[in-house]
Structure 1
């Protein structure tokens, strides 16, 4: 049985960032934030996965989930550069500041990760006078939480 862990956002995004979510094609993904995961069903489907053929063996035959399937279901772009390995960046705190205009200050000289709690604490609420740049930063933080919020592991 797989153990499914969801680090859900547990908050609705500010409507003012929907324009940016639309531009990045993440709005649909943001709107499916409430869902029920069934570990028993996920375990069953994983057990039917055949690594050598990259397909599921189901009673109705073989099938697989393609990138095109994901693109059609979520409306996400799939024709850009892929991220395939760990980053070798040496100034991650600088990059974090450039993209979010904020960076965790936990005393580390080298930023190695962003915690969901930090993202939520710093980007959950937008001021009524938020600038376009602040809205873009909040959108980036929201997307980071969407992407990193779910994983499945062995129990």
Structure 2
């Protein structure tokens, strides 16, 4: 199992790989179309989302990963409130606290969680506007990649690939 530093590096690597793959998709144009973010913010969001979801499975225990995760969520939540996106801030807060309601290495480390847990990244924006769907799908991919990196480094995707503390 990787420690929080390993998961941060894994999240960055997953975000970098995904951002590289997204160079063939005009991510910044999708964000502009949604009137959501500027060019650099759209790509920065890919890294932040990948990082959050790389740390997410370990949020269910008192750890450095939990501290980092909740500080990042706090900053994003403040920015959402600042921009008047109160519903999005509420959804983020609700979803962020789910893992602490269960025990460590429970459902947060299941392979199915890698696909299902990030679904609100797509579904919540879709509630507000179909224009948000293309960029939401891009951000969903970043979330899945970040989550995948966590499970990979913990040896839950491929047993031979396991980073030890």
Tell me the TM-score normalized by structure 1: 0.34
Q: Which has the larger radius of gyration?
A: 1
Which of the pair is proportionally richer in helix?
2
Identify, as 1 or 2, the structure richer in strand. 1
